[in-house]
Structure 1
Amino acid sequence: MTYLIGVDCGGTHIVGQTWTTSPEHLVQSVTGGPGNVVLDYTGAIANLTGVLDQLVAPIPADQVGLILIGIAGIETAGHADEIQQLVNQRYQIKTRVISDAKLALLNRLAGADGLLVIAGTGSVVYGRQTGHFLRVGGWGYVLGDEGSAYDITKRAFKQILTRTDAGQTSQLTKPLLAQLDASSVPAAVQRFYAQNRQTNAQLAQLIASLADQGNSEAIAVLVASAQALAQQVITLYQRFETPRPQNIVLSGSVLQHNQLVRAALTTAIHQVVPTVKFNDITTNNAHAALYWHCWAQEENN
């Protein structure tokens, strides 16, 4: 029997899974700590090998056909070859390392061509056509990540600062200061810069809650963030050669849990591309190991 191991190394946690192919069966699933190599390379590698140790231990190495690893931040960090070699040497098993976004694309489209939008803590738009990858955005929280949780928080802060500079008070000021336990706008800004990216991104939940309560400025922030991401989706869609994909996969906590952002995104896209349909990822992306052969065959042709 041949086993395949898939590992999804996200910014908040790692999920590793062992699968058999005939029949398709989940043998084992293991969860570990954060896996973003940009934020904490040493910690991410320790978490990754900890998960892999548990997955590999019960199976003879010669029965594992592949370890496929998708890692958050790998394209920015540039450590793919290094990590691939490390895992190869540690377990003596064929290993491939790609970004977590590509892993999600492979999983949801089952190896076929298409387009994927991810909006969680960060964001990126990915596509694949006839063996070629297309990408828009995903340039990190400082230079990009439109439509992400971090982007929502950043836009809310900018709204507050714009009103403050005009001698006015934003509808968002009081609740955001309370959430940060800050006595003034300057104190809130100081706290924002002192906190890490993940903590700041979590403030988007407050903006979403305010929008649900009818806060017009919170609604405007969410819509603007979604529309910025939609423009990136449209940009990538138009880079596809005909026939262009008719399915767009939506992934990430923002698009899965915030219906206002999701609706604003899909509405903006439909205004330009009215025929596309939107789908969700329903399985963990470690499941993508089952479809790697589709991409590998194209690479070998």
Structure 2
Amino acid sequence: MTLKYQIGVDAGGTHTTAIAYDLTGKELARSEAGPGQVNTDYNSAINNITTAINQLINQIIGDCQRILCGIAGLSVIGNASEIAGEISAKSNNLPTRAITDSLLALYNGLEGEDGGLVIAGTGSVFNGLQKGSIITTGGYGSILGDEGSGYAITISAFKSALLSWDKRQKNQLIPLFNQLFKVDNLVDATAKFYKMSNPQIASMAVSVAKLADNGDKNATSIIKKQAELLARDIIIGIDRYEEPKPMKVALTGSVLANNQMLRNFLEEKVWAKYPDVQFSISNGENARGVVFDKSKDYRYFTSH
């Protein structure tokens, strides 16, 4: 009997993970490739996504039923159907669907149930699922949104350091960023900042969080503010649910998985309005969202 399987692809800002599952949800194989964020470098992202997919197709002897691609930046540039078509054309014309990486995480985090999922890594977004309808708040990219993300934390902290530097006030964020940028003063740090990618900037949030954990008031203020902004997006999303509102909220992404202080501030803010919300951490592979996707919007694509 021919092995039937499906492929889930989690294409993020730092790397792409493709995982093949049989129809019961058992993992068969996985592959990795470079960044898959389409609004940063489109051609490179598509190449990385299709490379990861084709590695699995070439490795597994069987019949691939469908490919679900969760792609960072898709909500910014749109054209999901066209992107799915291009990926399909470069992947044996298999039935393909393209969605945002946050929606893929929603399918995985809730395992097909109604509720919400917050993703906060390089960027951030809240997605809610109720009776098959999707509710989205935030997710507007690093310039217009991404509250509570690693990028937003770093930017907010760096601005705090620069303001204190101009005022010649003490602020532990100043030596922190001098160290991170490997410079002697923040003027030189700004020059380096504008040459960095969003993931590189976001990675500095870990150091800001550690400073907050050590009791620094400025770093703590940054973490609290960003947590409350992200909580605001959650509350707006829950507000938009129909009654009875689902109260399950899964959290995923490097910031939420690793920053207990931010999670505490976030949960307190949400509970102030919705005390029945049940939070959980989703640590599974988001590519597994293909197992729970109930959409019929898979079709064969061909290149033009």
**Fold match, TM over 0.5?**
yes
User: What SS does structure 2 have at the residue aligned with 1:17?
Assistant: strand
User: What SS does structure 1 have at the residue aligned with 2:194?
Assistant: helix
Q: Is contact 2:16-2:35 (8 Å) kept?
A: yes
5+ residue gaps, structure 2:
298-304
Give how far 1:88 is off.
2.6
Give how far 1:251 is off.
0.6
Aligned equivalent of 1:81: 81
Give how far 1:242 is off.
0.7
Relative to structure 1, the CA distance from residue 95 to residue 60 in structure 2 (aligned partners, 3 Å threshold; closer, same or farther) is: farther
Instruction: Give 1:275-294 correspondences, 5 Å limit.
Output: 275-292=276-293, 294=294
Query: Structure 1 stretch 123-132 or stretch 163-172: which is displaced more?
Result: 163-172
- Does 2:159 align with 1:176? no
User: What SS does structure 2 have at the residue aligned with 1:296?
Assistant: coil
> Across the two proteins, how many residue pairs are aligned to each other?
294
- CA shift digits 1:66-109 (9 cap, x unpaired): 11111111121224222211233331311111111111111122
Q: TM-score normalized by structure 2?
A: 0.91
Q: Is contact 2:9-2:69 (8 Å) kept?
A: yes
Instruction: Give 1:107-256 correspondences, 5 Å limit.
Output: 107-256=108-257
CA–CA distance in 2 between the matches of 1:33 and 1:100?
Answer: 15
Aligned equivalent of 1:3: 5
AA partner of residue 18 (structure 1): A
Aligned equivalent of 2:66: 66
Relative to structure 1, the CA distance from residue 3 to residue 221 in structure 2 (aligned partners, 3 Å threshold; closer, same or farther) is: same
Aligned equivalent of 1:14: 16
CA–CA distance in 1 between the matches of 2:224 and 2:202?
Answer: 17
- CA shift digits 1:113-132 (9 cap, x unpaired): 21111111111111122222
Aligned equivalent of 2:30: 29
CA–CA distance in 1 between the matches of 2:87 and 2:41?
Answer: 18
- CA shift digits 1:170-218 (9 cap, x unpaired): 2211221122122323222222223221211111121112112221111
Q: TM-score normalized by structure 1?
A: 0.92
User: What SS does structure 1 have at the residue aligned with 2:250?
Assistant: strand
CA–CA distance in 2 between the matches of 1:174 and 1:19?
Answer: 47
When you count helix as a share of all residues, which structure comes out higher?
Answer: 1
CA–CA distance in 2 between the matches of 1:143 and 1:244?
Answer: 28
Q: Is contact 1:69-1:97 (8 Å) kept?
A: yes
Q: Is contact 1:38-1:73 (8 Å) kept?
A: yes
User: What SS does structure 1 have at the residue aligned with 2:119?
Assistant: strand
AA partner of residue 71 (structure 2): I
CA–CA distance in 2 between the matches of 1:224 and 1:115?
Answer: 21
5+ residue gaps, structure 1:
none
CA–CA distance in 1 between the matches of 2:227 and 2:182?
Answer: 28
What's the % identity of the aligned pairs? 37
